[in-house]
Amino acid sequence: MPSTQAALWILLCPLLAAALIGVIGLRGLRSRSHWLCIAGVGVALVLAVRLFGQVVSVEESAQARVFAHSHLVYEWFRPNLNAGDLSRWFAFEFRIDPLTGVMLLTVLTVSLLVVVYSVGYMRDHHGHPERGYERFFAFLALFVFSMCLLVLGGNFLLLYVGWELVGLCSYLLIGFYYERPSAAAAAKKAFLVNRVGDFGFGLGILLIYWRCGDLSYTHVFSQAGLEQLEGWHTLVALLLFCGAVGKSAQLPLHVWLPDAMEGPTPVSALIHAATMVTAGVYMVARCGAIFTESATAMAVVASVGAVTALFAATIAVTQTDMKRILAYSTISQLGYMFLGLGVHAADAAIFHLFTHAFFKALLFLGAGSVMHAMAGEIDIRRFGGLAKGLRVTALTFWIGGLALAGVPLLSGFFSKDEILHAALAESLPLGLIGLATALLTAFYTFRMIFIAFHGPEKLPAGVQHAHESGPWMTIPLMALSVGAVFAGYVGLQHGGRVNRLLSTVLMGATPAHADSHGPSSATVMVLSGLLAVAGIAAAWYVYRRRPILALGAVFSLPKAYDLLRNKYYIDECYDALVVRPLRGLGDVCYGVDRYFINAILWLITAVPRIAGFLLRGLQGGAMQGYALAMVIGLLVIVVAVLSAT
């Protein structure tokens, strides 16, 4: 099958699945709707593997560029057709290159496992589907379609369409339990916060079209396109980065992601691992030709990423909700990816995106398994010693935790190490922030593991015993564990076969980490591994050996603890500086509309109403009254005529 047809079917399969699930749901076959979702995503994955194989099969970098172009499917519409202007304006086109192949493989592999896991998660202990079961799988399939469209699009218009569809699907899935006020509020918050970033993103795209007259990647990223953007590179890059800050939950637009945990746990896994938040990283990597033209933009990307990584890691240390700990971990790891993009290590950033997808999906689905066994409870203070009853969940969670912590030989170690190496070579302060974040990551990850899975068994009220989840949920956990261990060995690492192909399309992959200055790769690997082990050892000592130390830290540093526990009070600041003033302005506008504008309208309509009230007495219905009025009128006319003559 030609690559263009394969790409088209990769899009159509999940889209058709979403449409058919809606039809089946209406016909009463809701309990089987998951099969269509599995089939749609599964077929798309098979096609993506084949497409990826076509890209990787090209050995030499010069030949690899054959794939680095857009494939026109059809022209969308033409302007000024009647005036004879036949130049193409917007087209439905695909961009098929190594970056597309890696992203599709990541998105569809993780999505398929999340869909399979959802079959067990979205049922009660008796096997009965939850309310809205078919709606959930329709939204999942639509979510996968949207992300694939975003990745496959060959121009900024298709990128924007996929970008907004991903945001819409996240709104629908975060608010899946819409009858719960907290879920409805979280969905609205995610939607509105992303609108802030998307406003800048849209302006950036409009600016590109204004300067280049085209939105196709082929033209914009060419030498001619970059020359047309001369003098505007920094502004365009920063506007595009606004969209990435919102979509990928970076400071200061990160506040929506922790609240997104109100959705079903498989949704959290999908958003955090394969879709939505990775869109911002992909977009910056795809637009590397623009970003690398501006040293200012690259510095902003790296700085925001580094600060966000450390910021989120410090918050995760004090959280007790298992899913929120993982949410702040995602924000932190995304910060790592932007740090890599900003220090000219785009290949390392995409490598970390790839490995992160497996171990973060594993951890979220593991948290869902715990939640399933604990009757919905997810606060790690309310249970403990779960490793005895949840053996598969505990083992796979350990594997995911080790990968997240960056323990040597697991996938997270290789990708994180490359980013740290590049950061230290480019900027010592940024590199040190990355190292500090690595230490905190290992600490908060195993703080969660030691409290939840080890020590004396403790169960929430109403839970008699911890029971392992069924095969629908445990098989995806085991499959993701394989990815968490071996995803670092697939050739994406620096110098690997796939990495060489990526370097042909990633303009930010002219790596600073290949320079002679800065620490050697071996030094960074040893240091990174030691920090991971030190963080795990510290968590074990504080929460298993001497738990009194944790209480001592809380009581000895109450203000610092409260600051971290309350997430630096950023939500409260937004509430005071943005939400309340806007609500106050809304109340004022409502009052003006109701009491001033309506009063004017009432006065305008009052005149004819009063006149009608006064004159309606003349319309009494008596014939003699009408005759008298006619006579009087006739006399008035006669008198007027005589007076005139």
Q: What is the per-residue pLDDT across 300-323, written as a single tens digit (0 to 9) for each?
A: 999 999 999 999 999 999 999 999
Output Rg (C-alpha) for the chain, integer angstroms.
30
pTM of the model as a whole: 0.88
Alpha helices per DSSP H over 175-264: 181-212, 217-220, 223-228, 233-247, 256-259
Rounded mean pLDDT of 276-299? 92
Is the pLDDT at 69 greater than 60, yes or no? Answer: no
Rounded mean pLDDT of 144-168? 92
- Map tokens 């869109």 to a residue: 279
Q: What pLDDT is attached to residue 603?
A: 84
Q: Where are the beta strands (DSSP E) in 471-611?
A: none
Q: Are the CB atoms for 276 and 170 separated by under 8 Å? A: yes
Segment 490-533, tens digit of pLDDT: 765 666 666 777 777 776 554 444 444 556 678 888 998 999 99
Q: What percent of the chain has pLDDT over 70?
A: 89
Q: What pLDDT is attached to residue 84?
A: 46
Residue 222, SS3 per DSSP: coil
Cα gap 566→550, rounded to integer Å: 17
Segment 375-396, tens digit of pLDDT: 888 889 888 888 888 899 999 9
Is the pLDDT at 578 greater than 80, yes or no? Answer: yes
| CB within 8 Å of 643: residues ≥ 6 apart | none
Segment 326-350, tens digit of pLDDT: 999 999 999 999 999 999 989 889 9
Q: What pLDDT is attached to residue 511?
A: 47
The residue with greater pLDDT, 165 or 67, is 165
Q: What pLDDT is attached to residue 496?
A: 66
Is the pLDDT at 632 greater than 80, yes or no? Answer: yes
Is the pLDDT at 256 greater than 80, yes or no? Answer: yes
Is the pLDDT at 59 greater than 60, yes or no? Answer: no
Identify the band that residue 52 occupies on the pLDDT scale cut at 50, 70 and 90: confident
Q: What pLDDT is attached to residue 83?
A: 46
Q: What pLDDT is attached to residue 395?
A: 94
Is the pLDDT at 617 greater than 50, yes or no? Answer: yes
Q: Where are the beta strands (DSSP E) in 22-128?
A: 69-77, 90-96
Is the pLDDT at 31 greater than 60, yes or no? Answer: yes
Is the pLDDT at 43 greater than 50, yes or no? Answer: yes
Q: What percent of the chain has pLDDT over 90?
A: 45
Q: What pLDDT is attached to residue 74?
A: 57
Q: What pLDDT is attached to residue 255?
A: 92
Least confident range of 52-56, 212-216, 266-270, 444-448: 52-56
Cα gap 430→437, rounded to integer Å: 11
Q: Which whole-number Å values give the CA distances from 175 to 142, 171, 178, 329, 616, in the listed order?
A: 15, 6, 5, 22, 57
Cα gap 234→215, rounded to integer Å: 18
| Summary mean pLDDT of the chain | 85
Least confident range of 61-65, 186-190, 368-372: 61-65
Distance of CA 568 to the CA centre of its chain: 22
Q: What pLDDT is attached to residue 75?
A: 60
Scored b (16 or more CB within 10 A) or e, 101-139 reads: bbbbbbbbbbbbbbbbbbbbbbbeeeeebeebbbbbbbb
Is the pLDDT at 535 greater than 90, yes or no? Answer: yes
Q: Are the CB atoms for 451 and 384 separated by under 8 Å? A: yes
Give the 3-state secondary structure of 459-506: CCCCCCCCCCCCHHHHHHHHHHHHHHHHHHHCCCCCCCHHHHHHHCCC
Rounded mean pLDDT of 565-587? 90
Please state at what angle helix 33-56 crosses helix 3-26, rounded to 10 degrees.
170
| CB within 8 Å of 161: residues ≥ 6 apart | 149, 153
The residue with greater pLDDT, 490 or 473, is 473
Rounded mean pLDDT of 477-484? 94
Please state at what angle helix 277-286 crosses helix 98-121, rounded to 10 degrees.
180
Is the pLDDT at 86 greater than 50, yes or no? Answer: no
171, exposed or middle or buried, with CB in 10 Å at 0-12, 13-18, 19+? buried
Q: How many helices (H) and strands (E) does the chain have?
A: 29, 2
For residue 626, give both structure tokens.
Answer: 């009408």
Identify the band that residue 213 occupies on the pLDDT scale cut at 50, 70 and 90: confident
Rounded mean pLDDT of 233-237? 93
Identify the band that residue 17 occupies on the pLDDT scale cut at 50, 70 and 90: very high
Q: What pLDDT is attached to residue 231?
A: 85
